[in-house]
């Protein structure tokens, strides 16, 4: 029997395009220090530290080694994770396993990326199949745009509807002091008129590249209850891996097989039958406007082909029936190795009632996802009630 585990504290840096005042170690230390302060703990109270980073985006390998004094791993049990877009949720799920196993009581998950210092699109190309994909594509956008075109065709979603998701993200970000792209006056027109990167994807449909770090502290039941007034209990975790070769899944956005598999497994473990009704808030790894709408469908928030309608109806706005990404999401903030862990941190903040101006009133059940890889999914469900 796994032990009960809860998130008791979080810490984030103010995510931004470029942090020239700190190096990578110093950036990570900011987030770790804030998480420790949030729980009123010191590094001595942490039994193990897990690090997430999307190497070699900054042109180096082994950040766990040479940035150790920054992330607190010195002489502690520790592991580094590198699983693409899912890095942060993989790290979070591992931290859950560490504590649930009974081996460690208090474990910190840390994620970072200093994207301004690397060349992300070059590094992303290394994910592709060496014979086919690397020869004809470069980076993530072309790959994604092909999927977006198929999705529009399959679901009838329009560029305007996708743009609405992009607007929601940047407006919600204004309520989040840590978010990178805060655009209070952004309109659907602005998104539609922004530079076309690869049809149908325009600059404002896409996530930015950010410098940032995040730390989340997990604890077993008795310590969680002692250390946090309202811990965020881990209700369910699930991961699923898709086959990597892109041509194998022509409808990758229309039908996100790993997202469907992982979310259904997590819903079942958490006893959720109607996610739109039973979830109070979702922090999803949406990377781009089109992906957010596709994820509504694949997560079962609505029927197939209804993703556009959901955004038209305002269901996923902060004041809607199921707010999605009140933090501003990935479209506002994307330090890749931290991004999915930020989803977990933001979902936990909602459950703990500490989300400030982006708080969803009465949030009792929250979903966090990571997505990447090309198409891997991690899911974590958090609740105010003990599992």
Partner 1 sequence: MSEWIVRQKIRIPFRYTAGRAMSRFLMGLAERRIWATRCEGCGRVYVPPLGFCGRCWREIAEWQELPDEGELVSYTVRPVGPPVILGLIRLEGADTHLVHRLGEVEPAELGRVIRVRAVWREDRTGSILDIAYFAPVRSGSLG
Q: Which residues bind partner 1 (CB under 8 A)?
A: 19-26, 29, 42-44, 56, 58-60, 68-70, 72-75, 114, 116-119, 122-123, 126, 130-131, 134
Do residues 81 and 90 lie in contact, with contact meaning Cβ atoms separated by under 8 Å? yes
Smallest distance from the beta carbon of 252 to partner 1, in angstroms? 25
Q: Least Å distance between CB 67 and partner 1?
A: 9
Residues across the chain:
387
Please state, in angstroms and rounded to a whole number, the distance separating the CA atoms of residues 118 and 233: 36
The residue (of 1 and 20) whose beta carbon lies closer to partner 1 is: 20
For 181, residues 6+ apart whose C-beta sits below 8 A from its C-beta are 169, 170, 173, 208, 328, 331, 332, 333
CB of 60 to partner 1, least distance (A): 7
> What minimum distance in Å lies between the beta carbon of 19 and partner 1?
7
Which CB atom, from 80 or from 343, has the smaller least distance to partner 1? Answer: 80
Nearer to partner 1, 127 or 188 (CB): 127
Select 22 or 79, whichever has its Cβ closest to partner 1.
22
Dist CA 324 CA 189 (whole Å) = 22
CA–CA separation, 309 vs 293, rounded Å? 9
Q: Which is nearer to partner 1, 124 or 368 (CB)?
A: 124
Q: Which is nearer to partner 1, 50 or 173 (CB)?
A: 50
Q: How far apart are CA 356 and CA 350, in angstroms?
A: 9
Pick from 356, 302, 374: nearest CA to 139: 374
Structure tokens at 160: 């305007």
Write down the least CB distance from residue 29 to partner 1, Å.
Answer: 6
Q: Is 172 within 8 Å of 320 (Cβ atoms)?
A: no
Q: How far is the CB of 138 from partner 1 (least distance, A)?
A: 12
CA distances from 57 to 134, 142, 246, 313 (A): 17, 18, 21, 38
């Amino acid at each position: 029997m796994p032990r009960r585990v809860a998130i008791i504290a979080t810490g984030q840096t103010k995510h931004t395009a470029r942090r020239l005042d700190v190096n990578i170690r110093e950036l990570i230390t900011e987030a770790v220090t804030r998480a420790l302060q949030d729980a009123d703990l010191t590094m001595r109270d942490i039994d193990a530290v897990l690090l997430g980073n999307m190497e070699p985006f900054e042109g180096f390998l082994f950040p766990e080694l040479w940035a150790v004094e920054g992330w607190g791993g010195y002489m502690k049990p520790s592991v580094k994770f590198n699983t693409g877009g899912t890095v942060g949720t993989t790290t979070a799920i591992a931290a859950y396993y560490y504590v649930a196993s009974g081996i460690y009581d208090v474990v910190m998950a840390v994620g970072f990326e200093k994207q301004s210092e690397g060349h992300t699109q070059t590094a992303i190309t290394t994910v592709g199949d060496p014979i086919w994909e690397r020869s004809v594509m470069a980076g993530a956008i072309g790959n994604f745009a092909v999927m977006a075109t198929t999705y529009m065709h399959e679901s009838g979603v329009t560029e305007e509807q996708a743009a609405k998701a992009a607007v929601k993200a940047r407006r919600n970000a204004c309520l989040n002091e840590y978010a990178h792209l805060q655009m209070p006056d952004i309109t659907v027109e602005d998104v539609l008129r922004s530079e076309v990167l690869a049809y149908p994807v325009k600059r404002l449909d896409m996530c930015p590249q950010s410098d940032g770090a995040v730390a989340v502290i997990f604890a077993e039941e008795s310590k969680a209850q002692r250390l946090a007034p309202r811990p965020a209990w881990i209700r369910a975790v699930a991961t699923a891996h898709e086959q990597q070769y892109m041509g194998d899944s022509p409808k990758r956005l229309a039908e996100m097989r790993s997202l469907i598999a992982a979310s259904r497994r997590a819903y079942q473990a958490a006893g959720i039958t109607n996610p739109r009704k039973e979830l109070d808030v979702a922090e999803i790894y949406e990377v781009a406007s089109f992906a957010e709408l596709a994820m509504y469908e694949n997560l079962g928030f609505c029927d197939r082909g209804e993703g556009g309608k959901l955004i038209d109806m305002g269901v996923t706005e902060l004041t809607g029936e199921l707010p999605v990404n009140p933090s501003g999401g990935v479209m506002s903030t994307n330090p890749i190795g931290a991004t999915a862990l930020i989803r977990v941190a933001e979902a936990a903040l909602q459950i703990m009632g500490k989300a400030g101006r982006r708080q969803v009133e009465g949030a009792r059940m929250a979903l966090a996802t990571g997505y990447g890889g090309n198409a891997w999914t991690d899911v974590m469900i958090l609740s105010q009630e003990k599992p």
